[in-house]
Amino acid sequence: MAKRIDFQTEPSRYRHWKLKFDGDVAELIMDVDETAGLFDGYQLKLNSYDLGVDIELNDAVQRLRFEHPEVKTVVLKSGKDRVFCAGANIRMLAGSTHAHKVNFCKFTNETRNSMEDASANSGQKYMCAVRGSAAGGGYELALATDHILLADDGNSSVSLPELPLLAVLPGTGGLTRVTDKRKVRRDLADAFCTVEEGVRGTRAVKWRLVDQSVPNSKFEQAVKDTAKKLASTSDRPADAKGIAFTPIERNIEDDAVTYSGVKIEIDRATRRATLTITGPSEPPPASVADMHKQGAQFWPLRLARELDDAILHMRLNEAEVGVWIFKTQGEAAQVLAYDKFLEANKDNWLAREILHFWKRTLKRIDVTSRSLVALVEPGSCFAGTLAEIVFACDRSFMLVGSFQGDNRPAAAITLSNLNFGAYPMSNDLSRLATRFLGEPESVEAAKAQTGKPLDAETCEEMGLVTSAFDHIDWDDEVRIFLEERSSYSADGLTGMEQNLRFAGPETMETKIFGRLTAWQNWIFQRPNAAGAEGALKRYGSGVKANFNPERV
């Protein structure tokens, strides 16, 4: 059985990153332990990374947001001499399964996006201090920050050498961030991406690849000055006290994973998983102070962390489970009460962070390459924030009335104000606006029903669910859908689902997930990269790759 990948960690267990704090500035230092790869068969030399390095980075980024509200600027730097980061480890890529490479690139993209989200929405600015070479994924890490400072020392450089060296592409958004974020001219970007040795000093500034280049003698002072300047633009509270990200409680068995508010049940024979989310058992706290006291146990935050971990666990460890079935159970009124509490206190830094955590977790659902279906049954609590899961799914079925002998409340969906903009998708639209892309009047009609429990027939009529069935047809209709889904090509389904989910405006984020990642994943399978005579296999051997020149 393949090694189970665990996304839970904390700073005392880090092997690759160090955190240092100085007032409103934190240093996030990359000092990769080359002997601590996630798998055997490669060494993480020159600050190269694998998924394990990014798992720690993701954890650090989240902790900086929640545990350190006083931090206004995060400085990324290297703990090694003459190298910032050599990017994704090539031996790891050459030896990984295709599925692992895909999920690795996806998770790394999400982590970079969370850094940009911290800057845009939480006032926690990121800068990168590059001394040495920042190649491939190392430069992509820098690209995710607000300001790149490059040492002008004849050695330090930035590069995206994937095409000439490996016959692949920068897999974590490099091409898109160069053109769309940094506005590098197309012909200069073309030249940059075909120069193995990269670009240095004043030319890197002129081409807009970095923001600033200074001599070694002025480098450290420039880092401090820039960090303070970025901090001055932040609205994060200087005197706030963070909350501790205590470990997530979970129990992993062969066919089930159980958290306090999420349970995953896996049916391996049918390659399906049912994810059941439990609503809150208590009303929201009486005050913001009480929310802070509850900390990581505050229901919306606890559930978001558990669901986030569950999604990542299923993505990486259960690749053959192709259909995820979402269910909920609990009191919708309680879910809505928490929504109201968060909305009323959205200017509080912690409430703001929780809302953005939910936004990022829901986006993980959007970009997950599985068939997603929501079953809205009696006793469910798909309301407000949890109703977003219904709108994220490829299909949704809702029961009319009740099952025979079932005394639970009839199935209903209730909308809250948070369904209309608090949780934008990658296209910067709400899920309802994306669902009704050509029907803005349908969004307004839904908004007019905010706070009202909507029964199955109403939800079907309004387009909030795909189909509504009574108890006579329910089992057969759901079974037919699930069996049909299992009969299709997994590759074809992924292509169809991901295309349909990225409706509407194109943004940098939709380009990264919907376009760049798709191309990268295809190229990773081509013989020019992954074949016996391909660049990934022959890298470092002294023998040139043998490329098939046919354009496809």
Q: What is the domain-level CATH number for residue 470?
A: 3.90.226.10
Residues facing 30 on adjacent strands: 17, 78
> Collapsing DSSP states into helix, strand and coil, what is residue 174?
helix
Q: Kindly state whether residues 181 and 289 are assigned to the same domain.
A: no
- Based on the fold, state whether residues 283 and 218 are members of the same structural domain: no
> 487 is written with which tokens?
């009969």
Last-in-domain residue among 467, 486, 501: 501
Instruction: Examine the fold and report which residue of 478, 501, 524 is the final residue of a domain before the chain moves on.
Output: 501
Residues 6+ apart with CB under 8 A from 205: 150, 211, 212, 213
Closest CA to 384 of 357, 351, 413: 413
Q: Is residue 420 part of a domain?
A: yes
At 515 the pLDDT is 79
> Quick check: is 197 in a domain?
yes
Which neighbouring-strand residues pair with 159?
Answer: 135
Q: Which domain holds residue 169?
A: 12-231
Establish if 539 belongs to a structural domain: no
C-alpha count within 13 angstroms, C-beta hemisphere, residue 300: 29
pLDDT at 36: 97
Residue 536 lies in a domain: no
Contact 486, 271 (CB under 8 A): yes
pLDDT (0 to 100) of residue 1:
39
DSSP state of 123: S
Distance CA(43)–CA(92), nearest Å, equals: 9
Gap between the Cα atoms of 322 and 371, Å rounded: 6
Q: Do 483 and 417 share a structural domain?
A: yes
DSSP for 220-249? HHHHHHHHHHHHTT----TT------PPPP
Per-residue pLDDT in tens (0 to 9) along the chain, 552 residues: 368 999 999 999 999 999 999 999 999 999 999 999 999 999 999 999 999 999 999 999 999 999 999 999 999 999 999 999 999 999 998 888 888 988 999 999 999 999 999 999 999 999 999 999 999 999 999 999 999 999 999 999 999 999 999 999 998 889 999 999 999 999 999 999 999 999 999 999 999 999 999 999 999 999 999 999 999 999 999 899 999 999 999 999 999 999 999 999 999 999 999 999 999 999 999 999 999 999 999 999 999 999 999 999 999 999 999 999 999 999 999 999 999 999 999 999 999 999 999 999 999 999 999 999 999 999 999 999 999 999 999 999 999 998 988 899 999 999 999 999 999 999 999 999 999 999 999 999 999 999 999 999 999 999 999 999 999 999 999 999 999 999 999 989 988 998 899 899 999 999 988 877 778 778 888 999 989 999 988 988 999 999 999 987
Query: 239 lies in a domain?
Result: no
End-to-end CA distance of the chain: 36
202 and 119 inside one domain: yes
Which residues, in sequence order, are CB contacts of 190 under 8 Å at separation 6+?
none
Name the phi and psi angles at 264, rounded to 5: -105, 125
Last residue of a domain, one of 202, 231, 260: 231
Does residue 6 fall inside a structural domain? no
Residues 121 and 216 in one domain: yes
Helices (H) and strands (E) in the chain, counts: 23, 19
State how many domains the chain has: 2
Q: Is the pTM of this model over 0.75?
A: yes
